[in-house]
Amino acid sequence: MEPIETMAIKDNTFARQFETIVPEGLLSVEYSFQEKKIFLTKINTPEGFENQALIDALLKNIMEIIVEKKFRLMPIHPKIVLFIKKNPKYKELLPPGIRI
């Protein structure tokens, strides 16, 4: 397993999003909860932001938070689904019967 770039991630429960500050501004992933499942619904990036490596690093850190809290993952946003496909080790976070 490659090392994960650690970044300061804030779980903004009021806005229901994981946030981190990048030089261009605020990078966030919106979520919602239903039972013990976390639905990752949207990625918000600063205008003109195209650093996919930073987005992937944020998502990897979020996956570790999900593992730690023992949630099941429901990726809704297409870029998050693609991230799971590229990182199959996170498929174990999906609820039984959900396949990507």
Instruction: Provide the whole-model pTM.
Output: 0.88
> Within a domain: residue 5?
no
Query: Residue 41 is part of a domain; what is its CATH number?
Result: 3.40.630.30
> Within a domain: residue 67?
yes
Q: What is the predicted pLDDT for the residue at 5?
A: 60
Domain range enclosing 15: 10-93
Q: State which H helix or E strand residue 56 sits in.
A: helix 52-69
Count of domains observed in the chain: 1
Joined together, the tokens standing for residue 6 give 């650690």
Give the DSSP letter string of 76-88.
Answer: -SHHHHHHHHH-G
> Within a domain: residue 1?
no
> Within a domain: residue 52?
yes
Residue type at 93 in one-letter notation: L
Structure confidence by residue, pLDDT tens digits, 53-97: 999 999 999 999 999 999 999 999 999 999 999 999 999 999 988
Structure confidence by residue, pLDDT tens digits, 3-59: 456 688 999 999 999 999 998 999 999 999 998 999 999 999 999 898 999 999 999
